A and B are shown apart, each in its own frame.
Chain A
């Protein structure tokens, strides 16, 4: 269980999150939605320790993440695909993937995981020795997703994975996330501006606006609530 309780965070004088509470049950897909500047990215940063909150706590699997360092949070099984994807252009595809599990000591399992990722994403296998900056948008998304999965995480945080992707690619990716969550019990926290796609695979939807939680509802209910959709989600 990932519990965010009463978290407030700011960038200098700008208050980005106000008293945000979100509960993410194990094995579920939760979508975090809202307009630009609503605080969605800030929320993810606060969970993985890139930003320290002024108030509130973040608890994962019984561990208090609030004062932990990023590197240690990652080692608890929390994988974060940041805004902009975080592909390291100067490295090869292979190197980028290997980075995902590089902190793990089990070298045999690291090799196995790498093989699994190439099976999961054949286009990456074809380009394994190429420099990452030659990849297309969809391939880059595959790369960072594969990298995140390399560490066999318990929770996967994704920041706008559909950005810049064609609708068909987005749909494939969303289906993959749903399947991973269902088959491996992966907890997925999905930040998206493309609310429709996100809600199609999510169990729960959390809507943020101006740093505050507007509502937390079952995904189906959210998708059906026309007023809410128009006001906050753009469709």
Chain B
């Protein structure tokens, strides 16, 4: 019973990180119909930028927000420079470009910061589990921070999209770009903004997961991306709610499989779940938009 509680708590915490990655992918998918395979690498890059700030004496919060801002900038730049040319081409072009970015960014990070230097990202909050009675549970102040940060971000983005004019413009640009242009909306700017926000969400995931990865290396986000991607697909790529639920489901699955079966099968468990869901519902769980047939 104790183990179950711990697995569940761990699963929720890591699930929120996956949800952030999934949200990042969903935002980009909704606005540009592109799967950003470079999402993990971009998050990694901004986390390393945050780490560089710490090396120069900055405190955790400067590095934290520095990474998020770097994410905003990186997302905008990537959209403008690399993605814009393939936005209206066959989907395979965008797949290849984002895979190329993924490879390139990780290689560049390796060149700048090294592949195996022993570094770690600090955590501002304690990683020791809360005391409940006489035992410690597997949920620490840092986990609280993770859950709160991701939840706040999601609420903020929800508020932006549902309740502001800017959000309305972005939604219109995503759903019907031509119609949106006819309403005077500068659709290409909305797409850039969408990528910027999505990349910032990815950066959030990157800094939240980094303190627990020891040592940090340029490919630390690879697994996280696979989980986050699975979460997004599971939830249905058009659904931000699906991203949240998908993230939590995948986080829990990973912990249960890791705990009850074997830690070496963690990722297999997640992937089997993904394939199983896709076989039954090829459009994901929460997609109201069924795959268009005919």
Contact = CB atoms under 8 A, between A and B. Distances in A.
Task: Check whether chain A touches chain B (CB < 8 angstroms).
Answer: yes
A91 B178 contact: no
B168 A75 contact: no
Contacts of A100: 183
6 contacts: A95-B172, A99-B183, A99-B185, A103-B185, A151-B183, A151-B184
A151 B98 CA distance: 39
B182 A86 contact: yes
A182 interface: no
Interface string A163-175: 0000000000000
A98 B180 CA distance: 12
A82 B175 contact: no
B176 A71 contact: no
Interface residues of B, number: 17
A74 B175 contact: no
Contacts of B184: 71, 74-75, 102-103, 151
B182 A95 contact: no
A102 B169 contact: yes
Interface string A118-147: 000000000000000000000000000001
Given A71-B186, A74-B183, A151-B184, A99 B178 contact: no
| 4 tightest Cβ-Cβ pairs between the two chains A and B | A103-B184, A86-B179, A74-B184, A70-B181
Contacts of B168: 91, 95, 98-99, 102
Nearest to B171: A91
A99 B168 CA distance: 8
Given A82-B178, A102-B165, A147 B183 contact: yes
Say whether chain B's binding surface is mostly helix, strand, loop, or mixed: helix
Interface string A79-115: 1101000101111000100111011000000000000
B178 A102 contact: no
**From B168, B179, B183, residue with most partner A Cβ within 10 Å:** B183
Interface string A27-49: 00000000000000000000010
A88 B172 CA distance: 7
Interface of B: 165, 168-169, 171-172, 175-176, 178-187
A181 B181 CA distance: 24
Nearest to B179: A86
Given A74-B182, A102-B165, 5 more contacts: A50-B182, A88-B176, A99-B172, A102-B169, A103-B184
Contacts of A80: 182
Nearest to A75: B184
A86 B187 CA distance: 15
A109 to B, nearest CB: 14
A80 B186 CA distance: 16
A95 to B, nearest CB: 6
Nearest to B168: A95
A128 B171 CA distance: 18
Contacts of B171: 90-91, 95
Contacts of A98: 165, 168
B101 to A, nearest CB: 28
Contact of B183 (A50, A89, A90, A103): A103
A185 B186 CA distance: 28
Given A102-B165, A102-B168, A102-B169, A90 B186 contact: no
Given A88-B176, A91-B175, A48 B169 contact: no
A91 B172 contact: yes
A71 B179 contact: no
B188 to A, nearest CB: 9
Nearest to B184: A103
A130 to B, nearest CB: 15
A89 B172 CA distance: 10
Nearest to B187: A71
A48 B172 contact: no
Contacts of A102: 165, 168-169, 183-185
A70 B176 contact: no
A75 B186 CA distance: 11
Contacts of B182: 48, 50, 70, 74, 79-80, 82, 86
